[in-house]
A and B are shown apart, each in its own frame.
Chain A
Amino acid sequence: MKRPCRTLVVVGGLLFGCTGIVLAQESQKPSIGGGDPYSRLAGRLQSELRFVTDVAFPGGPSFQVKIYDWVMGPRQEFPEFPLEGLATIEVKAGEVETTINGLTAVYHEGQYFVVPAGARLTMKIRPETGRGDNIVSLHAVVVIRR
């Protein structure tokens, strides 16, 4: 239980207790195109929430799945990129340096990386990229355990 709670605190940027977060999330209606947790990064990151759905398994866990498109501006660094859950991220264009729980790697167009729920993700657009010219386009599928 500890990990998901911490993730949600990071996403919302809020210092709620665990129970409060669950209630807050339950009261939220998924909306496309607005109200996403990335609005505070506007100007550095273009974020489009493309799709939201709830997935439940009878007698098992239930999830919310969100699909985002992100475009990151040149030379930006996001030391703690907010993620709501387990994320599979495809680099659609450009080149991005990631650090996931202390492990640094560089990804470029056509490559994928997975960020476990609760992991700390740093993303950086290097000034002199090997590919592209400092704008990075990402496509993310985020699975949020409810």
Chain B
Amino acid sequence: MLSPPSGFTELHERIGYSSPVVANGKVYVGIADNGDSPIQRGRLAAVDLDTGTLAGGFSFNSAGPPRGGGIWSSPAASGGSVFVTTGNGCRPINGGCSSEPADNHALSMLKLDGTTGSILWKLQPVPWSRDDDPDWAATPTVTDATCGPLTVATMKDGYTHAVNTTTGTVAWSFPFVTGGLPFTYGDHGDWGWTRPAASWRDVIFTVTGGFPITTSSPTRFDGYNRLYALNTCATYNSADSGRVRWIADIPDLPYTGQPTVTRGIVYIGNNAGKLFAIADPDVAPPAGIRCSNPLPPYTSIPACVASGFEAVPSPKILATVQLSGRIRTEPVLARGRVYVSTTAGRLHALEP
């Protein structure tokens, strides 16, 4: 690999995976890098909607100088604020940082003032010392649950975190984090849980690690092929009682699996080009019952319950539709149709 000449700084910022969001008279978009080689200084750009020029008075950098915290994901906007998640920080091997950069907001979910970019709150679950590249790549989901406004996102390490949108306090993490955040234990790597959650009533739908994420490989990655429904308002407790609402087995989800939901029916696509429609048990009877921990020792319900887990439904899969290529993006719902794009370069419109 060629290095830039002495005195030069290598810049290759890009708008990679961040779709723009329009709010507050501005267009917001995240800026990251190309493959952490070296990692760039993440930032959120705000463009004036009328003039197309950078909005004066708005500034947000994820870290540093020098580097770190690329914003790979799309921002979310709500009530005059903007919500972002940030990627990994500058480390010795990806940017030459032998110590934590100043103002390090890498690996964080943040609520920003939509006018100035100033930080209103920040959750940084994985500290710099434990940064093994678990970028926070999923766009935050901002939801008004009956238990209060929450901002939820799943991190690449397979943990899902929910923050009170108003106060910035952690409402819950799934699975439960002993001692609270930030983590003081465990590995936190680039394990591919990258997609945003969907929200309906008091339910969060997300491809997440589940209980197996606390084990070691290969069982650690059990959640790759499962869609979880989590009860948004279950009390945060060390046994995670009440958190898992149901689990659906969906094959070929690694590094994809972005659900969308309407009226209790969840749509999700996989790497094999299949679109699944799944019914929450509130709208269609479930197909069966299973353990909230999918690992084999807990398959039987008595063993499951005796081990402190819970019996939860397997939801009914209403339809499985084979499409033209891998489905890496979120299905879009409009006027009774589902629109899905695939890596074969086709856009499909489906009707029930």
Contact = CB atoms under 8 A, between A and B. Distances in A.
Contact of B190 (A45, A76, A110, A132): A132
B35 A133 contact: yes
A110 B92 contact: no
The A contact surface, by secondary structure, is loop
B191 A133 contact: no
Interface residues of A, number: 27
Contacts, number: 87
A128 B92 CA distance: 21
B295 to A, nearest CB: 14
Interface in A102-143: 109-111, 127-128, 130-135, 137
Contacts of A76: 1, 93
The B contact surface, by secondary structure, is loop
B34 to A, nearest CB: 9
A13 interface: no
Nearest to B133: A135
Contact of B218 (A110, A128, A133, A137): A110
A71 B38 CA distance: 15
Given A43-B92, A75-B1, A110-B220, A127 B35 contact: yes
A93 B190 contact: yes
Given A73-B94, A76-B1, A109-B192, A93 B133 contact: yes
A44 B88 CA distance: 17
A72 B133 CA distance: 11
A46 B96 CA distance: 11
A93 B190 CA distance: 5
Contacts of B240: none
Contacts of A44: 93
Given A131-B254, A133-B35, A43 B96 contact: yes
Contacts of A128: 35
A109 B19 CA distance: 28
Interface residues of B, number: 26
B37 A46 contact: no
Given A109-B217, A110-B218, A132-B133, A46 B92 contact: yes
A93 B35 contact: no
B83 interface: no
Interface string B323-340: 000000000000000000
Nearest to B254: A131
Contact of A92 (B91, B187, B192): B187
Contacts of A73: 36-37, 93-94
Contacts of A137: 132-133, 187, 189-190
A38 B189 CA distance: 22
Interface string A58-96: 000000000000011111100000000000001011100
A42 interface: yes
A94 B189 contact: yes
Contact of B37 (A42, A75, A111): A75
B236 interface: no
B352 to A, nearest CB: 34
Interface string B35-61: 111100000000000000000000000
Contacts of B93: 43-46, 71-74, 76, 135
A135 B92 CA distance: 12
A68 to B, nearest CB: 14
A19 B167 CA distance: 67
Contacts of B254: 131
5 contacts: A73-B94, A90-B217, A110-B218, A131-B192, A133-B133
A-B CB proximity, top 7 nearest: A93-B189, A73-B93, A74-B37, A110-B217, A132-B190, A135-B133, A110-B218
Given A73-B37, A137-B190, 6 more contacts: A46-B92, A73-B36, A74-B94, A130-B255, A132-B190, A134-B36
Interface of A: 42-46, 71-76, 90, 92-94, 109-111, 127-128, 130-135, 137
